[in-house]
Amino acid sequence: MYDRAMGEAVGIDPLHEIQPERIAEIRERLLAWYQAGHRDLPWRHTRDPYRVLVSEVMLQQTQAERVIPKYREFLSRFPTIQSLAAAPTAEVIRAWSGLGYNRRAVHLQRAAQAVVERHGGQMPRDRAALERLPGIGRYTAGAVLCFAFGEDIGFWDTNIARVLHRVFVGPELPARRLSARQLDALAERLVPPGQGYEWNQALIELGAVQCTARRPACLTCPLQTCCRSFPEIQALLSALPRGTRLKRESPFAGSIRYYRGRLIEYLRQAPDGTGLDLLALGHRLRPDFSPEHLPWLRQLVAGLARDGLVLAEERAEYDATDPRRLRVRLP
């Protein structure tokens, strides 16, 4: 056990108070828990950097159970980074159906194209070079370096940050106490030499099945006696009013993201190369569609076009004021 009061004094960085002995104990407990049993996920059976990249992009804001069948299907259609780079973008967007956040599909293909054009089809092994690829941030670059190339490197996303914050600092409610820079430093410091792959997979596993955002299974957690949030986190979560949204959660139904997703899904169903005009799209998107909604719809289409998800083409046979003049299709 450890002194829960450590690091609470005003002005003291809590990370400075973490003792090497405590880090060693947490490493030992978490790695033993992971090695004793974990989810059998298909991307844990490969060190191919392309397949690792596909899995990491798909797993952004999407649960693993939903990703598994789409991951296998996507790789059957685009088995190499070269095949993804060369594919029609409309085909890539169609293959992404069911995963949501369709912009990720475009970013993934653009990243593949950049690897082919700039790096001869070989995934770069440098973090800065990876982060220069379209849509690749610090977390994804770190994941590729660790899970494909075996580097002992620290990285974090929302789930890993939650685990690290709870274990080493305390509850992340009502607000996270660590800055992004502090989380970077903590993640790097914790990686056991020679065991970066297992360590980072274990953190991901703990955040996914044990130390979840709303219902952490503290009583069976391997880090319970080492955790600065136990048992306070249970009381904090129980005290949240029913329906309270945790940070980064936002309403979906009726949101711009909701309508963007529906619009793309309708275009997926249209025959190749045809698409739909604005009026047809509007009436499919919302039953109350009327001419007053046209500016909203044009703005929605313009945003998707900027993201590379649709093409909006003017047709000369219609009057310039006729909404049917603008036809929208997948790229």
Is 323 a domain residue?
Answer: yes
Of the listed 56, 65, 73, 313, which one is catalytic? 56
Domains in the chain, number:
3
Q: Any alpha helices (H) in the chain, and if so which ranges?
A: 20-36, 49-59, 64-77, 81-86, 89-95, 103-119, 127-131, 138-147, 158-168, 180-190, 196-209, 232-239, 256-269, 278-285, 294-306
For residue 294, what are the domain limits? 256-329
Among 280, 273, 262, 263, residue whose Cα is nearest residue 91: 273
Give me the percent of the chain exceeding a pLDDT of 90: 79
Question: Would you place residue 162 in the very low, low, confident or very high pLDDT band (cuts 50, 70, 90)?
Answer: very high
Asked whether residue 108 falls in the same domain as residue 160, the answer is no
Asked whether residue 215 falls in the same domain as residue 266, the answer is no
Asked whether residue 297 falls in the same domain as residue 171, the answer is no
Is pLDDT at 6 greater than 50 in this prediction?
Answer: no
Is 110 a domain residue?
Answer: yes
Query: What count of other Cβ atoms lies within 10 Å of the Cβ of residue 15?
Result: 15
Is pLDDT at 3 greater than 60 in this prediction?
Answer: no
Single pTM value for the model? 0.88
Bridge partners (DSSP) listed for residue 313:
327
CA distance 216 to 209: 8
Asked whether residue 224 falls in the same domain as residue 97, the answer is no
Is pLDDT at 7 greater than 80 in this prediction?
Answer: no
Q: Which domain-ending residue is among 195, 214, 239?
A: 239
Question: Would you place residue 1 in the very low, low, confident or very high pLDDT band (cuts 50, 70, 90)?
Answer: very low
Asked whether residue 53 falls in the same domain as residue 143, the answer is yes
Active site residue 317: no
Q: Are 297 and 281 in contact (CB under 8 A)?
A: yes
pLDDT of residue 272: 77
Asked whether residue 76 falls in the same domain as residue 119, the answer is yes
Asked whether residue 109 falls in the same domain as residue 231, the answer is no
